[in-house]
Amino acid sequence: MTSSRPRILQVGRLLPALESRLAARYDVHRLADESDPRAFLAARGAEFVGVATSARFGADRALIDALPHLQVISSFGVGLDAIDLDAARARDIAVGHTPDVLNDCVADTAFLLLMDAARQGSAADRFVRRGDWLRGTYPLATRVSGKKLGILGLGRIGRVIARRASGFDMDVRYHNRRPVSDVDYAYEPTLEGLAAWADFLVIASAGGAETRGLVSKEVLRALGPKGFLVNVSRGTVVDQDALVDALANRRIAGAGLDVFEDEPKVPEALFALDNVVLLPHIASGTHETREDMAQLVLDNLERFFKTGEVQASAL
């Protein structure tokens, strides 16, 4: 098939408005429409010069290898753990993603979860709806203002979370692979040390193999029975079995979770617990942010086909 427009392979479904705008500018084929995607790629993979995907679906080595003329990948999302960056780099394939435009909403969601876990807003709402208020008062919760906030991953989103904390007069420390030079927050050289210090431990790190299981049973033990965990990063960063056990046995006070190890599957053991708040990976899920992300997906492609470089590079 020939076309005067660049031929783009869409991996996974995207926002309907984004799909429409992609189709208006490019010759787009949705891989999800194929009953046998592997056979289709074997027969037609050479037609495509671009990939439009998302942080959820990514682009693994098998997909990249099946597209011999691939030049650019544009991903809806900031996470890169589902994209084989080494395979892209080896073939000089440009990779664009959508950083920065979602920082505020993800940071807002981190504090939504932190506040809800500590002050038990969702649990108290259920208390009222069940009619339990007629039979007694709701138990006391935990204050947020003036507490100690530990951040795992002081990157783009982590820095915004730290700024949000200033409005609650919180003391902030962080742990990264190495200290950050341009911030005043104290650096903790170990994650266990950060957890032992913190009242609230917020995960804002990248996902992927390097951070898998980083929040271990030992880290949760250090956080302790008065500490709260909040995760707006990737579910894989936490040892999920250890977290379920810690919540069920009150080894930590509570948690607020927007992400899980095997989404959309959530451990059923969490459903009956009132000390955990569960969200369906919606940290960036506002009309405004998703529109900005969609525009950046388009901008990355447009910039690449004009200049050979994406606007927001992941490499």
Do 122 and 251 sit in the same domain of this protein?
yes
Give mean pLDDT, residues 62-71: 98
Do 27 and 168 sit in the same domain of this protein?
no
Do 274 and 200 sit in the same domain of this protein?
yes
- Is 281 designated active site? yes
Catalytic residue among 7, 29, 173, 281: 281
Do 253 and 149 sit in the same domain of this protein?
yes
Does residue 34 belong to any structural domain of this protein? yes
- Is 21 designated active site? no
Does residue 300 belong to any structural domain of this protein? yes
If you average pLDDT over every residue of the chain, what do you get? 96
pLDDT at 1: 45
What is the percent of the chain with per-residue pLDDT over 90, rounded to a whole number? Answer: 96
Q: Is 50 exceeded by the pLDDT of residue 112? A: yes
Does residue 117 belong to any structural domain of this protein? yes
| Beta-bridge mates of residue 228 | 200, 254
Do 37 and 135 sit in the same domain of this protein?
no
Do 95 and 114 sit in the same domain of this protein?
no
Do 187 and 171 sit in the same domain of this protein?
yes
Provide the domain count of the chain. 2
Give mean pLDDT, residues 220-228: 98
Catalytic residue among 34, 218, 263, 309: 263
**Sign of the Cα pseudo-torsion (107, 109, 111, 113, in order):** negative
Do 92 and 191 sit in the same domain of this protein?
no
Q: Is 60 exceeded by the pLDDT of residue 190? A: yes
Query: 2 vs 17, which has greater pLDDT?
Result: 17
Assign 39 a pLDDT band (cuts: 50, 70, 90).
very high
Catalytic residue among 7, 173, 234, 303: 234
Do 89 and 186 sit in the same domain of this protein?
no
| Half-sphere exposure for 59 (CA within 13 Å, toward CB) | 32
Contact 45, 68 (CB under 8 A): yes
Q: Which domain holds residue 190?
A: 103-278
Do 246 and 274 sit in the same domain of this protein?
yes
Edge to edge, the sheet with strand 94-96 lists 27-30, 7-10, 50-54, 72-76, 94-96
Does residue 257 belong to any structural domain of this protein? yes
| pTM of the predicted model over 0.85 | yes
pLDDT at 3: 58
**Cα separation of 273 and 66, whole Å?**
45
> In Å, what is the CA distance from 261 to each residue of 243, 244, 306?
11, 12, 39
pLDDT at 32: 94
Instruction: Give the per-residue SS3 of the chain.
Output: CCCCCCEEEECCCCCHHHHHHHHHHCEEEEHHHCCCHHHHHHHHHHHCCEEEEECCCCECHHHHHCCCCCCEEEEECCCCCCECHHHHHHCCCEEECCCCCCHHHHHHHHHHHHHHHHHCHHHHHHHHHCCHHHHCCCCCCCCCCCCEEEEECCCHHHHHHHHHHHCCCCEEEEECCCCCCCCCCEECCCHHHHHHHCCEEEECCCCCHHHCCCECHHHHHHHCCCCEEEECCCHHHECHHHHHHHHHCCCCCEEEECCCCECCECCHHHCCCCCEEECCCCCCCCHHHHHHHHHHHHHHHHHHHHHCCCCCECC
Backbone torsions φ then ψ of 168, nearest 5 degrees: -110, 15
pLDDT at 131: 98
Q: Is 70 exceeded by the pLDDT of residue 2? A: no
Give mean pLDDT, residues 73-83: 94
pLDDT at 4: 83
Give mean pLDDT, residues 120-129: 97
Does residue 314 belong to any structural domain of this protein? no
Q: Is 50 exceeded by the pLDDT of residue 49? A: yes
**Sign of the Cα pseudo-torsion (110, 231, 194, 272, in order):** positive
The two structure tokens encoding residue 19: 């799909």
Give mean pLDDT, residues 114-123: 98
Assign 274 a pLDDT band (cuts: 50, 70, 90).
very high
Does residue 2 belong to any structural domain of this protein? no
Do 26 and 167 sit in the same domain of this protein?
no
Amino acid in position 90:
A
CATH code for the domain in which residue 68 is found: 3.40.50.720
287-303: per-residue pLDDT in tens?
Answer: 999 999 999 999 999 99
Nearest to 56 by CA among 11, 86, 9, 93: 11
- Is 175 designated active site? no
Does residue 315 belong to any structural domain of this protein? no
Do 262 and 114 sit in the same domain of this protein?
yes
pLDDT at 208: 86
Does residue 218 belong to any structural domain of this protein? yes
Backbone torsions φ then ψ of 202, nearest 5 degrees: -105, 130
